[in-house]
Amino acid sequence: MALSDRLARVWPIRERLSPAITLARTNPGALRAWVRVRGAVAAGLGEEAADAYDTLVVRAAQREGDLARLLALSAPDHLARVPAADRLRYLDVLTRVVDARPAAATMVCRILPELLRAMDDVALRPFLAQGLALHASAPREAESFLRMESNRGVQAAALVQRGTMLADHLRTLTLYARAHAGEDVEVRAGGQRSWGDGHHVYLPERVEVFGDDRDFVMYRVQTALAVGHLEFGTFALNLDRVPGDWPSKSGSESELERFFRAFPNRSLARDLFQLLADARVEAQVRSAYPGLARDLDALGPMARGVRPEPKAPAMRVVEALARMIWGLPPVTLSAPEQRALAPLEPMLVDIGERTVAELALAVARAYDRVDALMRHVQQGDLNRPAEGAGQGRAATPDDRYTPLAPAPTQSPLAPEAASEDDRALAEEAARILEQMMSEEEEGQSAGSDAQARREAKRRAKQARTDREAEEALLDGAPPGGAVVEGDDAPDRIARSATGAMLDPDGEGEVRKFVYREWDSTIGDYKPRWVCVEEQRMKEGPDEVVARIIERRHGLIADVRKRFSALRPDGLVRRRDLTDGDELDMDRVLEHQMDRRVSGQGRDRLYTRRDRADRDVAVAFLLDQSSSTNESADGTSRRIIDVEKEALIVASEAIDALGDRFAIWGFSGYSREHVAFYVAKGFSDAWDDASRRRVGRMSFRMENRDGAAIRHATTLLRAEPARARILVLLSDGKPLDCGCDHYYDRYAQEDTRIALREARQFGIRPFCVTVDPTGPKYLPEMYGEVAFAVIDRVEDLPNRLLKVYRRLAL
């Protein structure tokens, strides 16, 4: 197909061709890349983003042709990681970088998604400027600066961004929310403020009210109040139980949406309902959590933000209600304004005891009076009496009413933001709840309302999980090691790339396993996210192993001797014990003779039969990523070679000792192809074939440590040993850039969580990292798991033996 035809198919509109013309003039390669990707950008991210993308590519082309091609190809990929609301921001910032320092653009293109998440514009601008200035003299330093990995970067970031960042506390707050709600609430970054869609809790990305520790207290209060809407059932409104004329239910809309739809001026109805619902939840939270009430009071009026002084009567009434609820200095109201407010005031007494339906009814009754105030302003007649409820809800233009500025403690209800997926789940839960209620009438108690709601939701989720597992089975991926939970269907952005990866190292049947992955940016698991493909390693040539054995001949002979001396054989009878199962007749005789002769007896008279089975299963998990191709200590030997050597030596020792062991390797590309090689299974003998398999292990592609650790955990759990040990041999850089961005903090956190899971299953993980520089993030990544950093690679074989002695002997 001719290029012009393809263009015409992608954009029928002529004006859109102007980027194409610019690109065709400057760089045909960039044009080709742009044509290939542009349609997908528009389809996936929308026309607005696509326009911004055009601008970016064109600007880059004007600067440097090849840059345009690179950005045209890679920017959309990184853009896919940016939340929808931030995509224009991404393209805008990147375009400015192209203008200011084109040489840094590709690097910024990769890092920017994380930066956008970590900083708002106010902080980002000076930080980026510093990074770009640094780039002029030291490009590599600039990258670690902008990634906030170097000390300088961390300090600069701390200077530009004050306050408390959600990213730093996401897990703590998520767990906190779950403890409160008693269900798997998901906490997400919600931009400037906290809000809720009835399914998830959104928190501001940064809190900077006080500039000290109280900002975290603020976060905690916001979490408790936002979760409170779920915990105390704001979204469980059932309009059929509220007297009044309500619009009939349409599609998958929630009850709250249906409620708001009943009012011509939705903003006003929302504000009134929001204030009452927040007040009700706050009262409930205060009584349920007295410590939190005290902390909230200690924050003082600052927690409610700076209050505006509205002029329009309706807005003054709403503001007056807000201040009444929060105990702030009142708004002085005119008589008609006071009359409009009057029906709501009784609701505020013991509002914690009210039901959501009562609140809805009160809002419906007060709405007309407040709304009337606005119409009177329009008609210049402030003294006309307010009309009664339920009559003449004439349309009032929304633009006469500016919605209330929410206080930081408020958690705006945004049911319309719920995804179709969440809505379907909620409907299913509602159906189950109804069923439970009818069963209850038959005598089975479902406990409190909140408990019943939670249980219904749990069952709905379970049903869906089962359905998904079934579908996955039909897809051909056995859910053997899969842990299935959560609620997000995996998106398929990353399904491109190398689907049919030819694997020269594996042989025999490929077993597929699906695992979840920890996403530190959302503080939760992505269910069924990674596919591990387990295969047997082919045998390698003899020479590799022969060379290693020759090289380490002395050490191998030595460890075989030393370790076989430690080898126990079945049941052993231990003698000369002060306490045991049986008396040792020889010793008893000697004891009696000694006593007769010297009056002094002996005390070690007992024997005991001990089962001396070592009952240890150890697995070595070898990182076969391409980074292990780097040379060791500046010699000609590569890290992977030294690792293999250490594995062979350790295997000889463990074989001599008689412990059960396995050797696995992993590499792969993208989350759909994590290759997991079995060089020696637990049931394989340590023979020449196994040695040759280990000999074949070589550097391959990327490494996705979390998935490999999870699969190793699955395999180890099946081993019936008392002590199960997993030794991870890696270069300490979990990295899978296979188009879904497994690196940096994300990869480190997933590795940490996977190691923790292993520990929870009774496995003792130990990480041996070969990296002469010993990166700073290791303690963070390995968390509570023990690790050793080997800085002199040549030491590895000896160190690995020491590690094994410490762990298993």
Q: Tell me, what amino acid is at 123?
A: A
For position 443 contacting another protein by CB under 8 A, the verdict is no
Choosing from 62, 172, 334, 419, the residue that interacts with another protein (CB under 8 A) is: 172
Closest distance between another protein and the C-beta of residue 768, in Å?
A: 21
Please, which residues have CB within 8 angstroms of residue 796's CB and are 6 or more apart in sequence? 642, 643, 645, 646, 768, 770, 790
**Which one of 206-214, 312-320, 506-514, 574-582 is the stretch in contact with another protein (CB under 8 A)?**
574-582
The angle at the Cα of 156, spanning 152 to 159, to the nearest 5 degrees, equals 145
CB 730 within 8 Å of CB 770: yes
**Which one of 44-52, 201-209, 575-583, 678-686 is the stretch in contact with another protein (CB under 8 A)?**
575-583
Query: What is the distance between the alpha carbons of residues 450 and 411, in angstroms, rounded to a whole number?
Result: 20
For position 585 contacting another protein by CB under 8 A, the verdict is no
The SS3 assignment for 196 reads strand
Please, which residues have CB within 8 angstroms of residue 464's CB and are 6 or more apart in sequence? 425, 428, 487
Query: What is the distance between the alpha carbons of residues 604 and 488, in angstroms, rounded to a whole number?
Result: 66
For another protein, which is the closer residue by CB, 171 or 638?
171
**Which one of 188-196, 370-378, 588-596, 704-712 is the stretch in contact with another protein (CB under 8 A)?**
588-596
Closest CA to 649 of 641, 271, 735: 641
CB 708 within 8 Å of CB 674: yes
In this structure, what are the phi and psi dihedrals at residue 314, rounded to the nearest 5 degrees?
Answer: -60, -40
For another protein, which is the closer residue by CB, 207 or 370?
207
Distances (CA, A) of 692 to 301, 320, 497, 537, 680: 72, 80, 32, 9, 10
- What 8-state DSSP symbol labels residue 571? E
Cross-strand partners of 607: 582
For position 166 contacting another protein by CB under 8 A, the verdict is no
Choosing from 198, 580, 668, 734, the residue that interacts with another protein (CB under 8 A) is: 580
For position 224 contacting another protein by CB under 8 A, the verdict is yes
**Which one of 31-39, 96-104, 176-184, 303-311 is the stretch in contact with another protein (CB under 8 A)?**
176-184
For another protein, which is the closer residue by CB, 172 or 465?
172
For another protein, which is the closer residue by CB, 536 or 591?
591
Binding mask 764-803 for another protein (x = CB under 8 A): -------------------xx-------------------
Choosing from 4, 18, 462, 592, the residue that interacts with another protein (CB under 8 A) is: 592
Choosing from 92, 141, 184, 590, the residue that interacts with another protein (CB under 8 A) is: 184
Query: What is the distance between the alpha carbons of residues 384 and 374, in angstroms, rounded to a whole number?
Result: 12
Closest distance between another protein and the C-beta of residue 783, in Å?
A: 8
CB 538 within 8 Å of CB 696: yes
Helix-helix angle 47-63:65-79, to 10 degrees: 150
Please, which residues have CB within 8 angstroms of residue 676's CB and are 6 or more apart in sequence? 532, 533, 534, 535, 664, 665, 666, 668, 708, 711
Q: Which of residues 268-307 bind another protein (CB under 8 A)?
A: 288-292, 295
The SS3 assignment for 617 reads strand
Output the CA torsion sign for 99, 103, 104, 107. positive
For another protein, which is the closer residue by CB, 428 or 719?
719
Closest distance between another protein and the C-beta of residue 605, in Å?
A: 6
Choosing from 249, 339, 608, 764, the residue that interacts with another protein (CB under 8 A) is: 608
Tokens of 539: 């045998």
Closest distance between another protein and the C-beta of residue 599, in Å?
A: 12
Binding mask 715-754 for another protein (x = CB under 8 A): --xx-xxx--------------------------------
Binding mask 466-505 for another protein (x = CB under 8 A): ----------------------------------------
For position 357 contacting another protein by CB under 8 A, the verdict is no
For another protein, which is the closer residue by CB, 377 or 588?
588
Closest distance between another protein and the C-beta of residue 568, in Å?
A: 15
Q: Which of residues 106-135 bind another protein (CB under 8 A)?
A: none
For position 66 contacting another protein by CB under 8 A, the verdict is no
Cross-strand partners of 206: 165
Choosing from 40, 761, 786, 792, the residue that interacts with another protein (CB under 8 A) is: 761
Closest distance between another protein and the C-beta of residue 183, in Å?
A: 8
Choosing from 8, 181, 357, 424, the residue that interacts with another protein (CB under 8 A) is: 181
End-to-end CA distance of the chain: 69
Please, which residues have CB within 8 angstroms of residue 679's CB and are 6 or more apart in sequence? 537, 622, 663, 664, 665, 690, 693, 694, 696, 697
Q: Tell me, what amino acid is at 755?
A: L
Our measurement of the distance from residue 75's CA atom to the centroid of its chain's CA atoms, rounded to an integer in Å, reads 23
**Which one of 248-256, 368-376, 543-551, 604-612 is the stretch in contact with another protein (CB under 8 A)?**
604-612
For position 762 contacting another protein by CB under 8 A, the verdict is yes
For another protein, which is the closer residue by CB, 282 or 337?
282
Choosing from 81, 180, 200, 660, the residue that interacts with another protein (CB under 8 A) is: 180
CA atoms within 13 A on the CB side of 464: 21
Our measurement of the distance from residue 152's CA atom to the centroid of its chain's CA atoms, rounded to an integer in Å, reads 27
For another protein, which is the closer residue by CB, 219 or 260?
219
Query: What is the distance between the alpha carbons of residues 808 and 59, in angstroms, rounded to a whole number?
Result: 61
Closest CA to 189 of 114, 122, 257: 114
Query: What is the distance between the alpha carbons of residues 71 and 94, in angstroms, rounded to a whole number?
Result: 10
Query: What is the distance between the alpha carbons of residues 612 and 626, in angstroms, rounded to a whole number?
Result: 42
Closest distance between another protein and the C-beta of residue 264, in Å?
A: 41
CB 174 within 8 Å of CB 132: no
For another protein, which is the closer residue by CB, 607 or 667?
607
Binding mask 617-656 for another protein (x = CB under 8 A): ----------------------------------------
Closest distance between another protein and the C-beta of residue 357, in Å?
A: 27
Closest CA to 16 of 51, 52, 48, 60: 51
Closest distance between another protein and the C-beta of residue 196, in Å?
A: 19
Choosing from 32, 178, 538, 805, the residue that interacts with another protein (CB under 8 A) is: 178
Closest CA to 736 of 535, 498, 524, 505: 498
Choosing from 40, 43, 136, 175, the residue that interacts with another protein (CB under 8 A) is: 175
Closest distance between another protein and the C-beta of residue 623, in Å?
A: 25
Q: How many residues in the shown chain lie near another protein by CB under 8 A?
A: 40
**Which one of 316-324, 543-551, 651-659, 714-722 is the stretch in contact with another protein (CB under 8 A)?**
714-722
For another protein, which is the closer residue by CB, 117 or 178?
178
Closest distance between another protein and the C-beta of residue 100, in Å?
A: 38
Contacting residues toward another protein, per CB under 8 A: 171-173, 175-176, 178-182, 184, 220, 224, 288-292, 295, 580-583, 588, 591-592, 605, 608, 611, 717-718, 720-722, 756, 760-762, 783-784
